[in-house]
Structure 1
């Protein structure tokens, strides 16, 4: 079987609530889901999820190849773009192709991807999330009540702008999840909103009130020295890595002992996750993949020895998606449908192919102008809100 071509689709995901983080919100709760379909001469089609703007540039590296050679083709794509670099949209495109190739490889074996990758159990331990920054207090509590109903004992809260609000919300989630565990795991994700001194000061205050499992992206993703200082000076574990594009970008974090929980984003693909997971395993560190629509990294997460928990962000799937998995018992149960377990209703997807909330100037997650530069959180909030109006 040979790779012959590709097609692109854009589906919509209606979250039913505002979604976002400290860097920006999508008030409509409707986000776009780019889909790459890799076609073969054997009639099978591989599905890759994620933006792939550089597909015309990357595709020649895999065209005509046997899709089962996924690892070799991944390196071939990296080599193909070597001179101009592989970061950003190029790395995302490579990831979408890579995901589609893994989907094809498992479909050719007529088995679920988690089996192709050597996992022995279909259950993936998870933690509750939800891009919950824009929810009002009552909606915020109701959101995590739903996770508690599904047996979750761990949750991550979005914060970073108002310390009192962050502490209050962590306490709210703790009280909700205590019905499933006497000591639920609590995480706070500030999406690179602090500088090092702010992180140390804020964490010291949080640690007086809450037993925090990890702080996620407290400072900029490349600030190995700052992350190392935070890791050394606080009881809370430091989680980071979801925005790093390439295994080599993790080396400074490993060298400076700047990360305790190693993360990768689903938008960077399955081979990237597998390689980062093994690099982290060699350092004695756990890995935690960050979620994405239809949770494709769940298949890889359950196959590595050091996975600590998969982020699960929503209860439903994008429109036009049928996904063979179930959220229950505090995690995700993967099915037996071949490949990623995703089937697409292309007619329905085409009918709804108009994204809302994303195609705005700067995008929904545009970093605020004075992020990390405000002495008092309330002053920063007022300034940001004034600019938004």
Structure 2
């Protein structure tokens, strides 16, 4: 079987509420979901989710190749764009195509991707994370009550500008989840809003009121000394990595012992997550994938020994997508459909009205 072509399309996710973080809010709660469909001469189609704006530039590295050689093709894509840079849109495109390649590989084997990757258990522990920065306190509680009904014992709250407000909201979410656990896991995400000169002081103010499992992206993603200062100055673990593109960007953070939880963005693909997981495992650190539509990295998370918990952001799926998975018992129970188990209804997507943006 050989790769013959691709199709790109875009659907939307309708959150039904404002979504965002300290860096900005999408008031109408409608965001775009780019999709790339990788075609073969054997009739199978691979599904990849995520920005693929550079697909015209990257696809020649795959054309005519056997899709089963996923990791070799991943490196081939990186090499193909090396001279002009693999970060940003290029790395996102490589991630989306890599996801489609893994989908094809498992489909060719006639099994779900979690089995292809060697997982023994289809259940993936998770935590709730609603991008709820714009919600008032009552709406925040209502949102996480729905997650508590699904058995979740951990949740993440966005903040960064007003730590007194943040602490109050963290306590409220913790109390919601106490229906399932005496000591729920509570994570605090400030999305790089602080400088190193203020991060420890502000984090400690929050820790006076709530026991944090981790604080996420307390400083800029590249600030090794800042991450290290926070790690040394607070009780909770420091989590970061979702915006890092390539193992070389993790190296200095890990060498400085600046992270307690290593994260990887779902939009950067499955091979990237697997490699980040091995890098973290070599330092006895847990790994946690950051969420994306239809939770494609859950298959890979099920297969790595140092997986801690996968972020889940919504109980609904984007328009025109279905996925063979169940969100229950505090995580994701993956099904037996071949590949990622994600189906794309192109006719439904074509008939939709309206568009969304993360801009």
TM normalised by structure 1 equals 0.91
Segments of structure 2 that go 5 or more residues without pairing to the other structure are none
Q: Deviations over 1:296-353 (max 9, x none)?
A: 0000001000000000000110011111001000001000000000111111111126
Q: CA deviation at 1:138?
A: 1.1
Aligned twin of 2:88 = 88
Confirm or deny: 8 A CA contact 1:6 1:38 kept in the other structure: yes
Measured in 1, the distance between the counterparts of 2:245 and 2:138 equals: 37
Cα RMSD after superposing both structures: 0.8
Measured in 2, the distance between the counterparts of 1:48 and 1:20 equals: 24
Aligned twin of 1:281 = 281
Q: Secondary structure at the match of 1:209?
A: coil
Pairwise mapping of residues 59-98 of structure 1 onto structure 2 (< 5 A)?
59-98=59-98
Q: CA deviation at 1:356?
A: 2.9
Q: Deviations over 1:360-380 (max 9, x none)?
A: xxx2xxxxxxxxxxxxxxxxx
TM normalised by structure 2 equals 0.99
Q: CA deviation at 1:357?
A: 4.4
Pairwise mapping of residues 161-180 of structure 1 onto structure 2 (< 5 A)?
161-180=161-180
Q: CA deviation at 1:197?
A: 2.1
Measured in 2, the distance between the counterparts of 1:122 and 1:88 equals: 32
Q: Secondary structure at the match of 2:160?
A: coil
Moved beyond 3 Å, runs of 4+: none
Measured in 2, the distance between the counterparts of 1:326 and 1:188 equals: 26
Q: CA deviation at 1:148?
A: 0.6
Aligned twin of 2:18 = 18
Measured in 1, the distance between the counterparts of 2:53 and 2:344 equals: 21
Q: Secondary structure at the match of 1:125?
A: strand
Q: Deviations over 1:14-45 (max 9, x none)?
A: 01111000000111111110000000000000
Segments of structure 1 that go 5 or more residues without pairing to the other structure are 364-389
Q: Secondary structure at the match of 1:132?
A: coil
Q: CA deviation at 1:248?
A: 1.0
Confirm or deny: 8 A CA contact 1:27 1:357 kept in the other structure: no
Aligned twin of 2:294 = 294
Measured in 1, the distance between the counterparts of 2:251 and 2:185 equals: 28
Measured in 1, the distance between the counterparts of 2:350 and 2:258 equals: 45
**Residues 1:308 and 2:308 aligned together:** yes
Pairwise mapping of residues 105-124 of structure 1 onto structure 2 (< 5 A)?
105-124=105-124
Q: CA deviation at 1:199?
A: 1.0
Confirm or deny: 8 A CA contact 1:10 1:353 kept in the other structure: no
Q: CA deviation at 1:293?
A: 0.2
Q: CA deviation at 1:118?
A: 0.3
Q: Secondary structure at the match of 2:192?
A: coil
**Residues 1:7 and 2:43 aligned together:** no
Aligned twin of 2:271 = 271
Measured in 2, the distance between the counterparts of 1:298 and 1:354 equals: 29
Measured in 1, the distance between the counterparts of 2:155 and 2:87 equals: 30
Number of residues of Structure 1 aligned to a counterpart in Structure 2: 359
Aligned twin of 1:346 = 346
Measured in 1, the distance between the counterparts of 2:112 and 2:141 equals: 35
Confirm or deny: 8 A CA contact 1:34 1:52 kept in the other structure: yes
